[in-house]
Amino acid sequence: KRMADEGVVEIVRGGATLPDVLREAAFQHCLNLNADLKRKIAAAAAALVNNGDTIMIGGGSTTCYLALALRDHRNLRVITNSVDAARILGSRGENEVHAVGGRLDDYLGSTVGVVAVENIRRYSAEKTFFSVGAVEASIGLTSDTADEVACWQAMIEAGSKAIALIDSSK
């Protein structure tokens, strides 16, 4: 009871749990799933990017690994709705990073929604990299949210080449 009063724990049926602010965010949890495979996918995707390229990077954990794999690239022009990709690439290699606004989706680690889609459509890129929630035999690439799919579609339309980063768990 004293710890709950101090905000250290929250009382729940049958016990206590950490408060929401101290729990691992959903996106952080996704980063840890299949991390080695995501790093390999990201390294292969980074090999497709040349210094000076204009690229789009969508949200998701695999695209976050792509941003990490691109840290040594120089003079990239990056358009992204990924909060982490913007932070990682914006601080390195004289890159020009355009962070797309919109509604922040904590699970995806990115911005989504009408504002994000409208902003994405203002740009063009040589290559678009995006990650997906799942691959279904009957419908193809899919996600839990229509907002995320709308962002992919806008990025795919704005890019000359689209590259989906998909690990085997999908």
- Beta-strand ranges (E) seen in the chain are 10-12, 15-17, 54-57, 77-80, 96-99, 103-105, 110-112, 125-131, 134-136, 140-142, 159-165
Q: What is the reported pLDDT for 19?
A: 57
Nearest 5°: phi and psi at 98?
Answer: -110, 110
Per the listing, tokens 């004289």 go with 94
Q: What is the reported pLDDT for 167?
A: 79
Q: What is the reported pLDDT for 111?
A: 94
Q: What is the mean pLDDT of residues 90-113?
A: 89
Q: What is the reported pLDDT for 138?
A: 82
Q: What is the reported pLDDT for 22?
A: 42
pLDDT in tens, 129-149: 998 876 777 877 777 778 888
Q: What is the reported pLDDT for 143?
A: 73
Q: What is the reported pLDDT for 24?
A: 43
